[in-house]
Amino acid sequence: MTETEIKSMIDKDLYESILNAFTWEKVREQTNYYYTDKAGILREKRIMVRIRVVGEVAKIQVKLHKNENSPLQICEENEFETEEVPDIINAELAKEITEDVGELYKMGCAVTKRNSLVHNGSELCLDKTTYFDKTDYEVEVEYEEKISADLLMKLTSLGVRFNEKCVGKFSRFL
């Protein structure tokens, strides 16, 4: 599946303004456990492997980032069922889900509180993410064909700017 979204890093005050400006359909906490190979091949190829846990459901997610240096993020994303969050993903499973790079090792995790809603075919996600001793804030608008213009205008009127490169959670985690 191809994921297309625009992102912007925001400060805590803008996060609070956006939080109060919308009626959220979903609020959830998700924990992302990030994995890497010993040689760093996946990172070189801009491939991110994580296990995302939401409630009792865990899924392995693999993202291949197709562009960089832009607020627009285009990724090829695949998900696989899993029942655990192991310290090591064995080489056989790693080859099945991504590439033949040997075992994948858990590096740590980030916890995100995500508020989301769907508006005119676009999904607005407002994230507060904590990893190690740091917390950051991000707004994302995911869409398939066309982004919601009125949603963008409302975010812009609140002070969101989608004009700079925005690194993803995995890069910020690193």
Give the pLDDT confidence score for residue 110 in this predicted structure: 95
Residue corresponding to tokens 């812009």: 156
One digit per residue, the tens of pLDDT, for the chain of length 174 reads 777 889 999 999 999 999 999 999 999 999 999 999 999 999 999 899 999 999 999 999 999 877 776 667 778 899 999 999 999 999 999 999 999 999 999 999 999 999 999 999 999 999 999 998 899 999 999 998 889 999 999 999 999 998 777 666 677 766
Give the pLDDT confidence score for residue 174 in this predicted structure: 65
Torsion of CA 19, 54, 39, 67, to 10 degrees: -40
Which residue, 119, 112, 138, is CA-closest to 23? 119
Q: What are phi and psi of 149, to 5 degrees?
A: -65, -40
Helix (H) or strand (E) holding 172: helix 169-173
Give the pLDDT confidence score for residue 19 in this predicted structure: 98
Which residue, 73, 77, 65, 48, is CA-closest to 165? 73
Q: Please, what is the Cα angle at 69 between 140 and 159, to 5 degrees? A: 40
Residue 90, token pair as written in the block:
């064995």
Give the pLDDT confidence score for residue 70 in this predicted structure: 66
Give the pLDDT confidence score for residue 142 in this predicted structure: 92
d(CA 38, CA 107): 11
Give the pLDDT confidence score for residue 67 in this predicted structure: 73
